[in-house]
């Protein structure tokens, strides 16, 4: 669209709207009134739609088009008994949102909303030789070999496609209050993601786990989630009791994905012949791969809650919740390879999971102010994740290329746990300007199916609030926590025996510790200060530090720490002017110790030559600067106007360094990864000028720059010519640097 023509068109629109009476701030319709606003215009600047801007387009719909960024309509009666409000944002675009609220004051309130969330994974960047029909991916031809033959076939058969997801969400909430003491509520929420998203499988085509051929595909998405609930509350004389029911149903149109194996070249479609073993030389193996998608499931929860007021300024609150979550979708067949000829029943497996989880949650809180300077808050909560899903054991499963090996049984065990938390938070107001806090929390976990059957954690620490003057505030707090994992090896003997019993398997390292289960010491500190040195200037500063140490973890994560200082300022020289700026820096450090896992390693007796260490830092900083100014009528501008400007700059980097594990050779087996990171800056400018009391023109500009020095892994790149920018089945170039410039102009009319 030509910019001059667009401006001329907007000018014509402004002229037409300006002919309307500026006194129409509210329209009378007999007993009712109507008011609202509508804003419409266009994006004259070209929006980038190539592979370099795929990331910029990821959650946006900014086509070069006519736009209606906002629309609002409010209706009511003059007696103020009834109301209706309708709002719309980004009308008819992919990221649109609509909301409607109506009812009768004090009796009925109905709220409905619909919005869409776009996610553009790839706009003409991904490429594939597959044809897709539902959950089936087929090939019309196959390569004649690997290496150059596969590259030539890929180039000849690849076709680009757009991979995107659009999630529609609709919900409605109703509240009916027939008396001041009694109310009823109901809600319904519907979610429907539709489109495609990346999907990869490294478990199908290959001679052994070290030589699997990664098959990069996309998954067709068609989910339906229905959440609904109902409830009631009764409140009188300072007491409240309520009941709720919440239900959820999930439905997936595609329960299974199947795809042709390009590395079995015996034929296409029904002419392909399955082979028991895979061979990269003769290009034999299964004709197709198969994978299960998310199964259909449902959940039901029943909630009872209550609250009341006791003597000595004491309030109590409590709730009980019980539910049952069910999933019993049929299992997919054990294999798609007809030569293996195994069924679920032949290996002792049922036809479906019979999933049954029955969670229970209880919470009780007391908040008391028994004497004026003392506030006390205490909480007890209990959560029981009771997993009644049966244990499923598979016996004698034949895996590709493993038929000659003794087949080991393996089982899928349900995971259950319960957690109890007790916390106490007293606050004592020492003076009018000083308040001292202390927080103590005890938490215990009882687990089934993990290496740790019990975990106990105690955290505690003080905090201080100091406000010596109305213009000065200071806060400091410190928390220490220790998690103990007694009997860490309760289950490890069995796990080690199972892993050690697999032919060719690696013996379990007894010194290994999972950091999320082992003992940990935590220290956390935060500081905050704000000051107003003069009436119109405000300054603030904050600092947070977290430190996690794993003293019992001989191999695995050893230590992490993070720092995040920040400063900021705001300046308001006039009630109509606001200037602000802030700067923040964050860093996350970590280090771990592990073993080289190559041929000949004996983890049971690890020597120093097998050990390697790694440490790294993720860090970043961000800077914000902006202004918001209401410009009054003056000699140059005949009407009031409004100017907003904001600039943001963000940069981040990731560094990983490794050393050690020299036993396999003279050089270290551990390597340093190249530094990776991203940087982004954006500038937003918006100017609104009042043409009349109820008519305004908006002109805006948005600039976005994205730069990166990232190293993405393309698992199929070795099959492709160097000149190709796409991977074999999906193109992952959405992180390429780009510059985006978007301008818009709209007319806003209020009535």
DSSP 8-class letter at 330: B
Q: Are 46 and 65 in contact (CB under 8 A)?
A: no
Q: Who has greater pLDDT, 116 or 453?
A: 116
pLDDT of residue 124: 62
CA distance 729 to 304: 52
pLDDT of residue 412: 76
Strand-by-strand arrangement of the 256-260 sheet: 131-133, 136-138, 256-260, 288-292
Structure tokens at 185: 């509520």
Which of 55-64, 282-291, 678-687 has the highest average model confidence (pLDDT)? 678-687
Q: Who has greater pLDDT, 303 or 664?
A: 303
pLDDT at 494 over 60: no
CA 23, 24, 28, 32: dihedral to nearest 10 degrees?
A: -130
Q: Who has greater pLDDT, 140 or 50?
A: 140
pLDDT of residue 19: 30
Mean pLDDT of 357-385: 96
Q: Who has greater pLDDT, 342 or 509?
A: 342
pLDDT of residue 736: 60
Q: pLDDT tier at 299 (50, 70, 90 boundaries)?
A: very high
pLDDT of residue 242: 97
**DSSP string of 506-571, one letter each residue:** PPP-TTB--TTTS-EEEEEEEEEEEEEEETTEEEEEEEEEEEEE-TT-SBEEEEEEEE--EEEEEE
SS3 label, residue 575: coil
Query: Residue 688, Cα to own-chain centre: how many angstroms?
Result: 35
Q: pLDDT tier at 677 (50, 70, 90 boundaries)?
A: confident
Read off the pLDDT of residues 544-600 as tens digits, 9 standing for 90 and up: 999 999 887 777 788 999 999 999 999 999 999 999 999 999 999 999 887 765 544
pLDDT at 410 over 90: no
Mean pLDDT of 733-744: 69
SS3 label, residue 609: helix
pLDDT at 723 over 60: no
CA distance 424 to 563: 27
Can you say whether the dihedral through the CA atoms of 39, 45, 51, 54 is positive or negative?
A: negative
CA distance 638 to 636: 6
pLDDT of residue 24: 40
Task: Please choose, from the candidates 683, 745, 733, 609, the residue with its C-alpha nearest in 3D space to the C-alpha of residue 54.
Answer: 733
Mean pLDDT of 284-299: 90
pLDDT at 204 over 50: no
pLDDT at 8 over 60: no
Mean pLDDT of 498-517: 49
pLDDT of residue 496: 44
Q: Are 274 and 337 in contact (CB under 8 A)?
A: yes
pLDDT at 105 over 50: yes
Task: Please choose, from the candidates 278, 259, 154, 262, the residue with its C-alpha nearest in 3D space to the C-alpha of residue 717.
Answer: 154
Tell me whether strands 213-236 and 314-327 are parallel, antiparallel or unpaired. unpaired
What percent of the chain stands above pLDDT 90? 48
CA distance 154 to 147: 11
What percent of the chain stands above pLDDT 70? 77
pLDDT at 725 over 50: no
CA atoms within 13 Å, Cβ hemisphere of 594? 15
> What's the whole-number average pLDDT of the chain?
81
Which of 12-21, 344-353, 473-482 has the weakest average pLDDT?
Answer: 12-21
Which of 33-47, 106-120, 167-181 has the weakest average pLDDT?
Answer: 33-47
pLDDT of residue 485: 78
């Amino acid at each position: 669209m030509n910019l001059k023509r667009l401006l001329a068109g907007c000018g014509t629109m402004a002229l037409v709207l300006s002919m309307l009476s500026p006194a129409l701030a509210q329209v009378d319709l007999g007993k009712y009134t109507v008011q609202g606003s509508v804003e419409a215009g266009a994006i004259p600047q070209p929006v980038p739609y190539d592979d370099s801007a795929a990331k910029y387009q990821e959650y946006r719909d900014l086509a070069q088009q006519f736009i209606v960024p906002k629309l609002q309509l409010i209706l009511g009666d003059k007696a103020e008994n009834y109301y209706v409000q309708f709002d719309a944002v980004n009308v008819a675009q992919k990221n649109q949102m609509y909301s409607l609220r109506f009812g009768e004051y004090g009796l009925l309130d109905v709220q409905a909303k619909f919005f869409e969330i776009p996610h553009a994974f790839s706009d003409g960047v991904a490429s594939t030789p597959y044809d897709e029909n539902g959950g089936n991916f087929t090939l019309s031809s196959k390569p004649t070999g690997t290496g150059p033959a596969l590259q030539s076939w890929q180039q000849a058969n690849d076709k680009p496609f757009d991979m995107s997801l659009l999630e529609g969400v609709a919900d409605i909430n109703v509240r009916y209050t027939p008396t001041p003491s009694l109310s009823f509520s109901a809600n319904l929420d519907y979610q429907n993601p539709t489109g495609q998203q990346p999907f990869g499988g490294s478990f199908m085509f290959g001679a052994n786990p070290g030589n699997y051929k990664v098959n990069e595909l996309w998954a067709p998405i068609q989910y339906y989630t229905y959440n609904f609930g109902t409830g009631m509350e009764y409140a009188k004389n300072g007491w409240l009791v309520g009941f709720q029911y919440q239900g959820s149903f999930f439905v997936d149109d595609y329960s299974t994905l199947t795809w042709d194996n390009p590395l079995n070249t015996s034929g296409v479609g029904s002419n392909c012949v399955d082979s028991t073993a895979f061979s990269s030389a003769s290009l034999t193996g299964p004709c197709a791969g198969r994978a299960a998608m998310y199964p259909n499931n449902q959940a039901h929860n029943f909630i009872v809650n209550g609250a009341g007021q006791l003597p000595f300024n004491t309030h109590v609150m409590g709730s009980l919740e019980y539910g049952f979550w069910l999933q019993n979708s049929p299992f997919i067949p054990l294999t798609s390879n007809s030569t293996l000829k195994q069924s679920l029943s032949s290996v002792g497996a049922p036809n479906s999971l019979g999933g049954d989880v029955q969670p229970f949650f209880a919470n009780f809180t007391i908040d008391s102010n028994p004497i004026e300077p003392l506030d006390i808050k205490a909480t007890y909560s209990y959560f029981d994740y009771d997993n009644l899903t049966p244990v499923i054991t598979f016996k004698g499963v034949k895996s590709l290329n493993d038929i000659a090996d003794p087949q080991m049984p393996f089982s899928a065990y349900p995971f259950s746990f319960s957690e109890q938390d007790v916390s106490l938070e007293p606050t004592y107001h020492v003076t009018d300007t000083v308040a001292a806090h202390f927080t103590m929390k005890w938490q215990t976990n009882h687990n089934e199916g993990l290496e740790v059957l019990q975990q106990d954690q105690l955290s505690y620490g003080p905090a201080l609030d100091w406000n010596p003057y109305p213009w000065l505030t200071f806060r400091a707090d410190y928390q220490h926590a220790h998690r103990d994992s007694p009997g860490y090896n309760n289950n490890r003997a069995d796990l080690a025996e199972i892993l050690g019993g697999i032919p060719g398997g690696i013996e379990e390292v007894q010194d290994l510790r999972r950091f999320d289960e082992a003992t940990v010491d935590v220290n956390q500190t935060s500081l905050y200060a704000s000051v107003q040195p003069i009436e119109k200037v405000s300054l603030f500063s904050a600092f947070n530090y977290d430190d996690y140490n794993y003293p019992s973890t001989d191999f695995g994560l050893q230590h992490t720490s993070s720092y995040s200082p920040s400063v900021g300022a705001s300046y308001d020289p006039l009630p109509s002017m606001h200037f602000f700026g802030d700067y923040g820096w964050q860093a996350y450090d970590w280090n771990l110790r592990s073993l080289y896992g190559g041929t000949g390693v004996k983890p049971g007796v690890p020597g120093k030559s097998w050990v390697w260490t790694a440490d790294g830092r993720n860090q970043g900083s961000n800077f914000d600067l902006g202004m918001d100014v209401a410009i009054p009528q003056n000699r140059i501008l005949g009407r009031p106007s409004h100017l907003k400007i904001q600039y943001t700059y963000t940069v981040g980097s990731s560094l990983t360094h490794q050393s050690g594990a020299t036993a396999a050779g003279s050089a270290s087996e551990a390597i340093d990864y190249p530094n990776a990171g991203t940087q982004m800056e954006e500038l937003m400018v918006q100017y609104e000028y009042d043409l009349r009391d109820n008519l305004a023109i908006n002109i805006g500009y948005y600039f976005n720059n994205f730069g990166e020095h990232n190293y993405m892994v393309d698992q199929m790149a070795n099959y492709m010519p160097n000149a190709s920018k796409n991977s074999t089945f999906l193109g992952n170039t959405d992180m390429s640097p780009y510059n985006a410039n978007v301008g818009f102009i709209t007319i806003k009319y209020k009535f």
